[in-house]
Amino acid sequence: MIPLAKPYLTEDEAKAAHDVVLSNWVTQGPKVQEFEEKFAKYVGSKYAVALSNCTTALHLSMIVAGVGKGDEVICPSMSYIATANSILYTSATPVFAEVDHKTYNIDAKHAEQLITPKTKAILIVHQIGMPADIDAFTDLCKKYNLKLIEDAACAAGSSYKGEKIGSHSELVCFSFHPRKIITTGDGGMITTSNEEYYNKLKLLRQHGMSINDRVRHSSDKILFEEHVLVGYNYRMTDVQAAIGIKQLEKLDWIVQERRKIAMQYINALKDIDCIELPIEAQGFYTNYQSFSIYLKKNCNVSRNDLMQKLLDKGIATRRGIMNSHREKAYLDLGYKDYLPISEDAADNSIVIPLYVPMNADDINSIIKEFKELLL
């Protein structure tokens, strides 16, 4: 079986985790701080705050941005459900916008049509690693005095107009789930250059505690913490952070290797008339966190049949990106949106294997099967 994805983990990560376990400091401590500092430097932000996962990162970003009950936040429906759920966690209302057919990223023109006096923020998603048009949404948020939050769960290592994702906005959220470009097993990060946000995020992730354990244990004076606001237990462990540090060292290389594989797919499949392949516009640099192929109406096989035929040949695939507004959780909340571009993309696209390292025979086998089934 050729899997859809695999994390790139080596003895480096195993040794890093081993060393932390033997250090007896396994929760949020010095390795978390080191990971934060190195990640912030990598993306070009002033600060980074490590968290338990990207969903908690999105939740805390909503809170520090001032999103709350009665507010609306515009976001794409075409994204993993955690994107919209993070808005509901604050008792605000997700308002679903259409996506661009070519990039699967939120459409700025449609988003603007959805702005009301209740709109507090826009949550953009860099879908499957392809950067959204950050400048368009920055201008939109300035025009209407809204907060901009980036769901960069899939976008570590991607760039927009020559700068890494994570440096453009005040709240950018990353994921280190095993299906992402780099992993800590699970985990998340918020990057920001807003000092007020940074200080509040650190409080919120650890029960509103005024002094964290690392500072208290390293002090030569008795310190007593206070709990200055109602916070959460959204900490990252030092074991995770130690793995993350080693992964970060390899990030640019991993992205380069993924892009080589993506180019092999594009060059080999570009002449198949019934499919559309990813498009990377000038100034946009994707990490190819996933490789999605859209099946046009003239395809001689349905998406689901294609997936089954590939599975029968030992090739794992996945359906296109979900639409949150069509999930039972949101239907039960009364959502009745009709988003034809998002729905069509979800129903007629397929994600194919892409990971590092990937055997050349496996790449050629996938290409061969696609040509046989679609030409």
DSSP conformational letter for 119: E
Which structure tokens are listed for 260? 């080589």
Q: Identify the CA nearest to 97 among candidates 82, 108, 85, 89.
A: 108
Rounded CA gap, 112 and 137, in Å? 9
Token pair 């050729």 is at which residue? 2
Bridge partners of residue 69, in order along the sequence: none
SS3 label, residue 320: coil
Q: Identify the CA nearest to 131 among candidates 255, 259, 286.
A: 286
Rounded CA gap, 46 and 201, in Å? 14
Enumerate residue ranges in the chain where pLDDT < 70.
216-217, 219-220
CATH topology identical between 11-249 and 251-374: no
Rounded CA gap, 352 and 252, in Å? 22
Domains of the chain by residue range: 11-249, 251-374
Which structure tokens are listed for 83? 């994107």
Torsion from C-alpha of 237, 242, 245, 249, nearest 10 degrees: -150
The amino acid occupying position 120 is K
pLDDT at 225: 78
pLDDT at 216: 63
The residues annotated with a catalytic role in the active site are 180
Q: Domain 11-249 adopts which CATH fold?
A: Aspartate Aminotransferase; domain 2 (3.40.640)
Question: Could you tell me how many helices (H) and strands (E) the chain has, helices first?
Answer: 13, 14
| 251-374 homologous superfamily | Aspartate Aminotransferase, domain 1 (3.90.1150.10)
